[in-house]
Structure 1
Amino acid sequence: MRVTQSMLSSNMLRNLSNSYSKMGKLQNQINSGSKITRPSDDPVVAVKGIGYRTNLNKVEQYKRNMGEVENWLDTSDDTLDHVGIALRRVQELVTNAPNDTNTDEDREKMKKEIDQIKLQIRDLANTKVGEKYLFSGTNTLSPVFSTDGTNDIFAGVIINPARGIEGSIEDTPPASGFTNSVEIEVYDGVNLNVNTDTLEMFAQIDDMLTNIQKDLSTAGTSGAQIGSHLSTISTVQNKVLENRADIGARQNRVDMMINRLATQEVVVTKQLSDNEDIDYERVITDMITQESIHQAALSVGAKIIQSTLVDFIR
């Protein structure tokens, strides 16, 4: 086959173009630090990168969710701690009240303090996280106790003022949602319950304080009758502690989930780096090698092509 001058020129120009393209690709990799600058460079790497970035975005969202979970649990624990402190003060007052040296006036003062403690515990029951009521289940826009100044509304259900601590919320069940669990997703297929079902506990505390108020305000109430409330106080204190223990167990799980998310973030970030990031030493070496090849191609081409064409190329 006859090789013409134009064939040599065309082959040289094509090879030089390919050489420039390779150097341009290597230069882009060095500038960006990535193996690819567009999906067409390597579709497999691009598709894997999308998957890794999706996983990282999910981990970031789960970390934000964990912050919300911690907020709910920490606030619940702190609230119940204050409820326990209030009950201890009630216990001190009831322990002192049966003393026969106390006059009716002294008991009236004790009643007034318990009045305020009762209101304080109701306020604690209506604690909010943001704009959501903490102890209202999924009915987060409604308070446990009425906030309109009335004392006979509890979770949307009319309370029978005559019932004692042994009673229960009337046959009518609580308003929809108050005993439901509030769950937040913290991992693929893993949901954590962030609220605490304290509806019955707060009902019992409220009933107990109402009965104590009644006995303290009634003249002639025996010390033994007032002292009988101590066992009830102990019962509700145990319920508060049980709920705090449950919250503590969930807080421990939250800590474990946070560690798991941190580990997952490191693993996925490494996978993304291995998939897309270049090895600078190798790419720079390839770049230098390609430049040497390109210079050799130019030198050889100058020798085999007529000087007029070479002059044009220069």
Structure 2
Amino acid sequence: MHRVRDLTVQGSNYGAMSPEAKQSIATELDGLKQSLLSLANTTYLGRTVFAGNSDAGVAFQPDYSFTGTAGSTVERRIGPDTTVRVDADGAAAFGTGASSVFALIDDIANDLRTGVSTTPRLAQIDDRMKAIVGEHAEVGGRQTRIDKAKDALAVGANSLEGQRASLEDVDLSKVILDLKTQDVNYQTAIAVTARVLQPTLMDFLR
């Protein structure tokens, strides 16, 4: 979007630019729009990131209509009583239909090709950039919550592992040494008992 704005500022000097230069800027804007549209239709595990529970396969159709449902969100549990949203509102970030950022870029490119000043479009670009930054900030806040939950779970897992180890794990070398000691004591006891109970000549005469 910063590049789109730079090109729009450059194209606003339409009086000093040749038709070829304007066409070149318009062509680059077309490419930027396609890249932005591709990003807006990003999917993860078969689901669109920017269209909630939509099963359309894309968040935005070729006519820039939004396939998501207003108010629908994708939530994931990160704690016993805590959930966090893991999708983003594509309509809020990019707009929809004729008021979308994609349509805006088309309008700028068309202005350049038809010799119309692009200066009035700068305020519209700024509005769309603010919307994208706002959604980005919300996603950042959710990411922070997830990171904190992850750290808390890691601490809990380490504590539980320590408790389990203290109950179940054994020091193999210590166990072997204990067994050897017990075996030596047992053998010694047998030897002593055998000597104490040795039969005498009187036992045989009886």
TM-score (norm 2): 0.74
Q: Distance in 1 between matches of 2:29 and 2:174?
A: 76
Choose the corresponding residue for 2:123, options 231, 244, 258.
Answer: 231
SS in 2 for 1:154: coil
Question: In the alignment, which residue of structure 2 is the partner of 1:244?
Answer: 136
SS in 2 for 1:136: coil
What runs of 5+ residues in structure 1 fail to find an aligned partner?
1-86, 157-173, 308-314
Question: In the alignment, which residue of structure 1 is the partner of 2:89?
Answer: 197
Question: In the alignment, which residue of structure 1 is the partner of 2:204?
Answer: none
Question: In the alignment, which residue of structure 1 is the partner of 2:41?
Answer: 126
Question: In the alignment, which residue of structure 1 is the partner of 2:6?
Answer: 92
Question: In the alignment, which residue of structure 2 is the partner of 1:296?
Answer: 189
Q: Which structure carries more relative contact order (alpha carbon 8 Å, separation 6+)?
A: 1
The correspondence of residues 23-102 of structure 1 with structure 2, limited to 5 A, is 87-99=1-13, 100-102=15-17
Matched, 1:215 2:130: no
Q: Distance in 2 between matches of 1:230 and 1:128?
A: 30
What's the offset of the Cα at 1:293? 4.9
Question: In the alignment, which residue of structure 1 is the partner of 2:23?
Answer: 108
Question: In the alignment, which residue of structure 2 is the partner of 1:273?
Answer: 165
What runs of 5+ residues in structure 2 fail to find an aligned partner?
201-206
RMSD (CA atoms): 3.2
How high is the sequence identity, in percent, across the aligned residues?
Answer: 21
Matched, 1:145 2:37: no
CA distances 1:194-228 after superposition (whole Å, capped 9, x unpaired): 22112232232123223323433335x3x3xx211
Deviates more, 1:134-143 or 1:277-286: 277-286
TM-score (norm 1): 0.52
Aligned length: 194
Question: In the alignment, which residue of structure 2 is the partner of 1:155?
Answer: 66
What's the offset of the Cα at 1:287? 6.1
CA distances 1:48-69 after superposition (whole Å, capped 9, x unpaired): xxxxxxxxxxxxxxxxxxxxxx
